[in-house]
Amino acid sequence: MTSATPPTVVVRGPAYPPHEAAGIWVWVEQHDGVVEDVSRELLGKGRDLASRLAQPLVAVVLGAPQHAGVGAADAAALGADEVLVVGHAALAHYATDPYTDALDQLVRRRKPAILLLGATPDGRDLAGRLAVRLYTGLTADCTDLTIGPSGLLESHVVGFGGGIAAIITCQRHAPQMATVRPGVFPQPAATVRSNASERIRPASVDLDSAAERVRVLERQVHAEAGLTRAPVVVIGGAGTRGDFHLLEALAETLDGEVGATRVAVDQGWIGRDRQIGQTGVVVRPKVAIACGVSGASQLTVGISGADTVIAINSDAGAPLFDAADYGVVGDLFRVLPPLLAELRTDQPKAVTAERRPA
């Protein structure tokens, strides 16, 4: 099974010097014509950065010919000055090699200053590979993006326990790359722009000469968790000991969603798409109810945007109480049943009517 010629390190060198670079690019992630929320959020933040730098905001949409166009129209409506669209059968579903090849070719041709990607599983797969292909700097999971006095992108990241913030820059390489978790930035409103369609430009890339490497045999997507838009998020941690049924009932009663800590996800109690925190989803609900969650900073970063945080934990010393508005020291299996009963018996109609997701 061992290959005859072991792979050796390939050094490609920089793509282009930073002083030749201009433009803020956002990779618009779409699956079957549906644009990811995080890409919309990045177009909103990208607009700010473009204004600060007086440079154009460019959206890049890759996909099957029939799908890429839909994403492109979305991107144009969300404020991109230019939308580069590559419709190609090899890009029908995300795969590392054709997506890296396509973006690499476009970037080398047009020399953007900044390239932003959503920190989804596919976005992280792509960004990590592309940054080395382009021999440039990449900062993961930024909590904010700003422009410094010299025009450099400042990528803000939160370190150990959420207590430490660092600003990362990439001065000598281009493009300056960053990934951002879903939910970190608000979504911009779509606007009707008279010349939106004129901003969409088909671009061509050569994907035929590359050898096929990884082949997608099957792809299954289940219903997605609507965590970033939910008004209430009920979060379970180690204290649930894997039993989420009371949390699910509470979320259902409040038209909310269930989330989980990394520990709970790592234990296999709940799907990764429900992980809240620095390495999961950042949520900004009206109410976050954390049940049996100790409160590692990794988690608290993910709920720092919540209007109200309620913590229920049997350990009075749990750090999450320091990050909560209301705390209850007690076993969640004793605290939640009367709360559920209370909410179910006397639920003002206005609350359910207003908060039911569209």
Partner 1 sequence: MRIVVCVKAVPKPEEVGMNPETRTLDRSKARSEINPPDMHALEMAFALRDRVGGTVTLLSMGPPMFVPYLRLGLAMGADDAYLLSDRAFGAADTLATSYTLAKGLERIAATAGPWDVVLCGEESSDGATAQVPPGIAEWLDIPQATYVSEIAPGDGQTAPAIEVRREIKGGEERLRVPLPAVLSVAAGANVPRFFDPDRRAIAESAEVVVWDAAAVAADPALIGAAGSATTVAAVESAGRVERRHEMLSGPPEETARTLAGVIRAALSA
Q: Which residues within the stretch 24-63 sit at the binding site for partner 1 (CB under 8 A)?
A: 36
Pick the closest to residue 244 from 182, 252, 320, 285 (CA basis): 252
Q: How far is the CB of 4 from partner 1 (least distance, A)?
A: 8
Q: Sketch the per residue contact string, 59 through 98, with partner 1: x for CB under 8 A, - otherwise.
A: -----------------------------------x-xx-
| Residues 6 or more apart in contact with residue 8 via CB below 8 angstroms | none
Among 59, 77, 86, 170, binds partner 1 (CB under 8 A): 170
Are 228 and 283 in contact by the 8 Å Cβ rule? The answer is: yes
Place of tokens 């890049």: 60
Place of tokens 């045999």: 217
Q: How far is the CB of 129 from partner 1 (least distance, A)?
A: 4
Q: How far is the CB of 46 from partner 1 (least distance, A)?
A: 20
- The structure tokens listed for 192 are 């009707």
Q: How far is the CB of 197 from partner 1 (least distance, A)?
A: 29
The residue among 194 and 345 lying less far from partner 1, judged by its C-beta, is 345
Among 54, 89, 216, 358, binds partner 1 (CB under 8 A): 216
CA dihedral 51→54→55→59, nearest 10 degrees, is 10
The CA radius of gyration of the chain, in Å to the nearest whole number, is: 22
Residue 25 pairs in a beta bridge with 58, 115
Q: How far is the CB of 338 from partner 1 (least distance, A)?
A: 4
| Residues 6 or more apart in contact with residue 248 via CB below 8 angstroms | 234, 258
102-141 binders of partner 1 (CB under 8 A): 120-122, 124-125, 127-129, 131-133, 135-141
254 lines the binding site for partner 1 (CB under 8 A): yes
- The structure tokens listed for 215 are 């082949």
20 lines the binding site for partner 1 (CB under 8 A): no
Q: How far is the CB of 283 from partner 1 (least distance, A)?
A: 13
Omega of the bond prior to 175 within 30 degrees of 0, cis? yes
**Interface stretch with partner 1, choices 51-59, 109-117, 154-162, 187-195 (CB under 8 A):** 154-162
The residue among 46 and 295 lying less far from partner 1, judged by its C-beta, is 295
- The structure tokens listed for 271 are 């799907």
Among 52, 109, 166, 204, binds partner 1 (CB under 8 A): 166
Q: Measured between alpha carbons, how far is 208 from 211 in angstroms, rounded to an integer?
A: 8
Q: How far is the CB of 119 from partner 1 (least distance, A)?
A: 8
Number of residues that bind partner 1 (CB under 8 A): 111
Q: How many CA atoms lie within 13 A of 355 on its CB side?
A: 20
290, amino acid identity: A
Q: How far is the CB of 357 from partner 1 (least distance, A)?
A: 13
- The structure tokens listed for 233 are 């998020």
245 lines the binding site for partner 1 (CB under 8 A): no
Among 201, 204, 322, 357, binds partner 1 (CB under 8 A): 322
Pick the closest to residue 108 from 16, 10, 17, 27 (CA basis): 16
Among 57, 83, 114, 296, binds partner 1 (CB under 8 A): 296
